[in-house]
């Protein structure tokens, strides 16, 4: 296990990342004001963070190796939308109902990594 739940990104002191168990990847949160970028409030705790307001990440579900092969053979694969919307409070991530992953509506503790 790593040292903390949150990690700084090298050469980007404004950005903190955490491992999202719903998306199985990292999400980043800007905690220092930068013109043109959203900024979240943060309680300063690397192990039991609280961010405000909610964090909403959108995109598409990554394709599998098998899907990549099908695309390379000429098949059209429609991207699957991904939404992850949560509150992070006291080291727990509260997934909201509009999430498109398996943890929608659940609350889980963030893990060290």
| Model confidence at 2: pLDDT above 80 | no
- Can you give the pLDDT at residue 61? 86
The pTM of the full predicted model, rounded to 2 decimals, is 0.86
- Can you give the pLDDT at residue 62? 86
Task: Kindly report the average pLDDT of the chain as a whole number.
Answer: 95
| HSE, side-chain direction, 13 A CA sphere, residue 90 | 1
Indicate the domain borders of the chain.
Answer: 7-109
């Amino acid at each position: 296990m790593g040292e903390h739940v949150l990690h700084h990104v090298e050469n980007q002191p404004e950005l903190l990342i955490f491992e999202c168990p719903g998306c199985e990847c990292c999400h980043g949160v800007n905690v220092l004001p930068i013109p043109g970028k959203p900024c979240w409030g943060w309680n300063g705790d690397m192990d039991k963070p609280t961010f405000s307001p909610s964090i909403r990440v959108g995109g598409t579900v990554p394709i599998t190796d098998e899907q990549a092969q099908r695309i390379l053979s000429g098949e059209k694969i429609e991207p699957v939308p991904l939404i992850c919307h949560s509150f992070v409070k006291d080291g727990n991530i509260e997934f909201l109902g509009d999430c498109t992953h398996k943890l929608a509506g659940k609350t889980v503790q963030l893990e060290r990594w």
